């Protein structure tokens, strides 16, 4: 398992008195287990959400990692999610939560009213040790159905993300196809 928490603490010089925008595109949409000053729907351009990252510590185990989302470069694509304005001390918790291969990266957020702001995202790139990579949506659904970790079942993660996207009125073909295959195999 790759623990990126120390690297994330070195990556950004955050001033304690200056709030920061954080963009969530996976479980951060529906599981805000941290204090925030504001919360707004937002999107980032040039990225697509994919279930290509392994989860050895939350939705799987070191021997049988689950699958969670990361972002891949996708020119012309827009990834919608939720932005949170947080104080820098919140990153101590978030860096631990996102430690399995995710690094904090600066990006430009676009809010639903068109305003833009610099913000941070947690990104797991293909060169991290937990990256599982591309697979068919049907294969990913079978993998998710068989995975469970300390934070619960991988199925729960997928279903909560799909529901959160619906509540935001966001279409995501990749997530919804995996959900379809998962529910079809369970029924």
Instruction: Show which residues are catalytic.
Output: 98
Tokens of 108: 């430009």
Residues 6 or more apart whose CB falls under 8 angstroms from that of 114 comprise none
Tokens of 115: 């305003």
Count of positions (residues) in the chain: 187
DSSP class of residue 26? Answer: S
Query: How many C-beta atoms surround the C-beta of residue 14 within 10 A?
Result: 18
Place of tokens 């351009």: 45
Residue in 74, 68, 184 with CA at minimum distance from that of residue 132 = 68
**Measured CA angle at 76 (ends 71, 77), to 5 deg:** 40
**Helix 154-167 and helix 137-145, axial crossing angle in degrees, nearest 10:** 120
């Amino acid at each position: 398992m790759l623990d990126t928490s120390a690297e994330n603490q070195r990556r950004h010089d955050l001033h304690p008195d200056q709030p920061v925008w954080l963009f969530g595109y996976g479980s951060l949409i529906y599981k805000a287990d941290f204090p925030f000053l504001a919360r707004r729907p937002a999107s980032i351009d040039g990225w697509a959400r994919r279930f290509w990252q392994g989860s050895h510590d939350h939705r799987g185990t070191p021997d049988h990692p689950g699958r969670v989302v990361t972002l891949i470069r996708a020119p012309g694509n827009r990834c919608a999610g939720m932005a949170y304005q947080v104080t820098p001390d919140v990153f101590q918790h978030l860096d631990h939560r996102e430690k399995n291969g995710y690094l904090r990266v600066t990006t430009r957020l676009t809010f639903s009213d068109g305003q833009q702001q610099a913000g941070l995202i947690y990104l797991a790139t293909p060169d991290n040790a937990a990256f599982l990579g591309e697979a068919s949506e049907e294969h990913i659904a079978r993998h998710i159905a068989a995975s469970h970790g300390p934070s619960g079942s991988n199925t729960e993660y997928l279903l909560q993300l799909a529901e959160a996207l619906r509540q935001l009125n966001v279409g995501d073909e990749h997530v919804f196809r995996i959900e379809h295959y998962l529910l079809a195999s369970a029924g």
